[in-house]
Structure 1
Amino acid sequence: MTKLLVTGATGHLGRAILHHLAETSGIAPADIIAASRNTAKLADIAAKGIETRTADFDDEAGLVKAFTGVDRVLIISTDELAVPGKRLVQHRTAVSAAVKAGVKHIAYTSMPNPDKSLVTFAPDHLGTEEAVKASGIPYTILRNAWYDDNYLLSMPHNLQAGKWYTAIGTGKVSNITRDDCARAAAAALANPPGGNKTFTLTGPEALTAGEIAARFSKAAGKPLEVVNVTDEQLAQGLASAGLPEFVVRMLVSADANIRAGNFDLVTSDFETLTGTKPKDLAAYLDTQKAALTA
């Protein structure tokens, strides 16, 4: 009996990974452990026969207890982004706890090219990858590309206005759905590839802003004009919309990273892990038309 533990189990990605472990990878619920700071939010998961454990990344002793008796741990990166460096401290704490608990394999959700990324939180991922590698525990690093799902935070508004203000210039980005990342993570946790491996999970195509806008326009049945702006103009617009400063910096840095070509990569790693093709943006948007036209 191999015990698999997923941290961040109350989040969108964590819940999707638990689903794919049980439904897609065929892992018995008794072999799956869902971990979160607040296990009360996992009552529906527990009802399926999956064990729940408390896992607070600010409490190393608690993490050691949560990880004890576990063979493979998937560390999902936390959402602590407001305070620079805090997330990396949390991740290092989790890796240390895995070592102390005798975990046999670590999987971690990272991002593409964290060593040369312009995104504000890239150092968190790079530092965590280094900590995982230094732990001596066999590992699988999953570098998730930018989610298609992220567009739903702003594109419905952009479609209403008919304009998308962006600073990505002529850069391209290979988005992937969160669900596909979850499916790949479940596959990697259920059947870890031999040795220490790093996979970059992308969709099947890298698209320009114009190509992305065209797909949204077609799915929503509304025109969408791309308006190219500078980083400074984008930052001013986001700040005037009331977004917190750290979110503004993060979004501007993401556009700069695309513009620099650092998200312009397409791999076959998703297919290697799952045996299937990742969903493209048009297919994803076909499932989200209600959200786009709300």
Structure 2
Amino acid sequence: MSVTVTGATGRLGRHAVETLLRLGVPASQIVATGRDLDKIKDLADRGVTIRRADFSDADSLAAAFDGTQKLLLVSTTTPSERSENHRRAIDAAQAAGVSHVVYTSTANAESARMILAQAHRETERYLRDSGLPFTILRNGWYLENYTSQLALYQQHGSIAGVAGQGRVNAATIADYAEAAATVLSTDGHLGAVYELGGDEAFTLAELAAQVSDATGQAVVYNNLPADEYTRLLAGAGVPEPLAHVLADSDLGLARGELLADTGDLRRLLGRPTTTPAEAIAAAIAQQHQAS
């Protein structure tokens, strides 16, 4: 079995490679790809093949996927470029004779009205139409979207957003990566579409209460109008197009579009998912180690 992982220089792809190794897939059967190979040189030192793959460069994708049997297609980061990037990757996989493509989509991609869902929906359809055997992993929100902001929450005493009373069941990047590695290393997943999310759903007000409990500092949820939240993000240095997408995603959260309570993630992992409290505690521990 030859498994190729795209985006191994990013968090999800890197975790997927590490999990494949932990699950016993020989390093010689894993290909880790990315644009900057210096970031994954240590994987080469451990016996993993590393190859350059730039989603804007079809030739690099063809070379990266050569000899691949199973491909983990990790969605690219820039929303406006995703559809074309993914089309090039799927075309390259088809030309390389890949026998199974596992694609990381987003929760409720078929029905969600969020801006982020559009490119994923288009990719899913293109993948289906390609005729390639596939599995779709509709990953929900990352807990790290919140835990990475702990210092700011503590600084301002608030979590800002436009999610209202919407509920989200986020999970950790490591949990999603482990699910992907499980699909890549076991049978029975061809044609499956998994809606993935954590076991525990929460509102952002409930998240603020958990942050307060864990840090001993009062943190509240501050629900804002979408345009005001967009300006707040842009003022904090987030590029305006991304700030708009993030605010739109919060509106999707309010509509329930980031809620995936199927239990699929727990079943793939064979264990409970990481809870928000556990993720917050881990983030606090990292803060202490860094200080």
Alignment map for 1:3-22 (pairs within 5 Å): 3-22=2-21
Alignment partner for residue 93 of structure 1, among 65, 88, 95? 88
Is 1:64 equivalent to 2:62 in the alignment? yes
Aligned structure 1 segments of 4 or more residues deviating by more than 6 angstroms: none
Q: RMSD in angstroms over aligned alpha carbons? A: 1.5
Larger mean Cα displacement after TM superposition, 36-45 or 178-187: 36-45
Larger mean Cα displacement after TM superposition, 110-119 or 50-59: 110-119
Tell me the equivalent position of 1:181.
176
Tell me if structure 1 keeps the 8 A contact 2:175–2:269: no
AA paired with 2:34? Answer: S
AA paired with 2:133? Answer: P
Q: Kindly state the Cα deviation for residue 121 of structure 1 after the two structures are TM-superposed.
A: 2.2
Q: Structure 2: how far apart are the matches of 1:265 and 1:91?
A: 23
The percent of aligned pairs where both chains have the same amino acid is 34
Alignment partner for residue 278 of structure 1, among 255, 273, 280? 273
TM-score by length of 2: 0.94
Q: Kindly state the Cα deviation for residue 154 of structure 1 after the two structures are TM-superposed.
A: 2.9
Structure 2 unaligned blocks of 5 or more = none
Tell me if structure 1 keeps the 8 A contact 2:198–2:266: no
Tell me the equivalent position of 1:75.
73
Deviations 1:185-210 (A, max 9, x none): 11111114243011111000111122
Aligned length in residues:
289
Deviations 1:32-68 (A, max 9, x none): 1111122232210001111111211112222122212
Deviations 1:54-112 (A, max 9, x none): 2111122221222121100001111123xx2x221010000000000000000011101
Is 1:256 equivalent to 2:255 in the alignment? no
Q: Kindly state the Cα deviation for residue 292 of structure 1 after the two structures are TM-superposed.
A: 5.8
Tell me if structure 2 keeps the 8 A contact 1:155–1:292: no
Q: Structure 2: how far apart are the matches of 1:194 and 1:154?
A: 35
Is 1:130 equivalent to 2:128 in the alignment? no
AA paired with 1:10? Answer: T
Tell me the equivalent position of 2:228.
233
Deviations 1:104-145 (A, max 9, x none): 000011101123323322111111111111111111111111
Q: Structure 2: how far apart are the matches of 1:48 and 1:257?
A: 41
Alignment partner for residue 33 of structure 1, among 22, 25, 31? 31
Tell me if structure 2 keeps the 8 A contact 1:118–1:256: no
AA paired with 2:257? Answer: N
Tell me if structure 1 keeps the 8 A contact 2:140–2:259: no
